[in-house]
């Protein structure tokens, strides 16, 4: 039998991407070992093959974990971006509410001021009318004969008693 001094083993796996079509992975490993005098060839091959298959399986699991983590990161980034947009819109709405409340308060103040000015001008007109009425009353009173004076009027001279 020939003297075997070197052993080479390989392992591979093929699997599809869990979220994308037409994407697949093919991890592959090749291991070599040199045999020393007295090494059991079959035991060395079996141990080397087990290591190669374990490495391929570990690599496959690592790829799947990375894909899952990347997907979770993308989801969280998307959720965060959505929440930030919502927050920005809420801030805009809050600013709109504040602006509208200020406009309403200003208009209510303006309405109140106009109402007070209108009432004041009406009162001024009434007061002016009262003053004019009082003046007219005073003039009329001054020009009108006094009722209590009628009994003391002297008769005209051409009338004989």
The phi-psi region of residue 14 (left if phi > 0; otherwise alpha if psi is between -120 and 50; otherwise beta) is beta
The pTM of this model reads: 0.55
Q: Quickly count: other Cβ atoms within 10 Å of residue 39's Cβ.
A: 14
pLDDT tens-digit readout, 106-145: 998 888 888 888 887 877 777 766 666 666 666 656 555 5
In the chain, where the domains are located: 6-82
Residue 90 has pLDDT above 60, yes or no: yes
| Averaged pLDDT for residues 140-155 | 56
Which pair of structure tokens corresponds to residue 43?
Answer: 């035991």
Element (H or E) spanning 58, and its range? helix 41-143
* Average confidence score pLDDT of the chain: 84
E-strand spans in 74-120? none
Q: Which residue has the higher pLDDT, 49 or 143?
A: 49
Q: How much is the average pLDDT of 22-36? A: 93
CA 153 to chain centre: 95
């Amino acid at each position: 039998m020939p003297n075997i001094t070197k052993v080479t083993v390989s392992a591979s796996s093929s699997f599809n991407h869990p979220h994308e079509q037409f994407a697949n992975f093919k991890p592959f490993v090749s291991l070599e070992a040199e045999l020393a005098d007295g090494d059991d060839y079959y035991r060395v091959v079996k141990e080397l093959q087990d290591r190669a298959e374990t490495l391929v399986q570990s690599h496959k699991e690592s790829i799947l974990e990375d894909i899952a983590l990347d997907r979770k990161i993308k989801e969280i980034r998307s959720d965060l971006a959505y929440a930030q947009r919502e927050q920005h819109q809420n801030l805009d709405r809050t600013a709109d509410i504040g602006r509208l409340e200020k406009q309403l308060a200003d208009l209510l103040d303006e309405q109140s001021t106009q109402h007070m000015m209108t009432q004041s001008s009406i009162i001024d007109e009434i007061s002016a009318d009262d003053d004019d009425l009082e003046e007219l009353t005073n003039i009329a009173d001054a020009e009108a004969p006094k009722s209590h004076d009628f009994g003391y009027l002297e008769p005209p001279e051409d009338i004989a008693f």
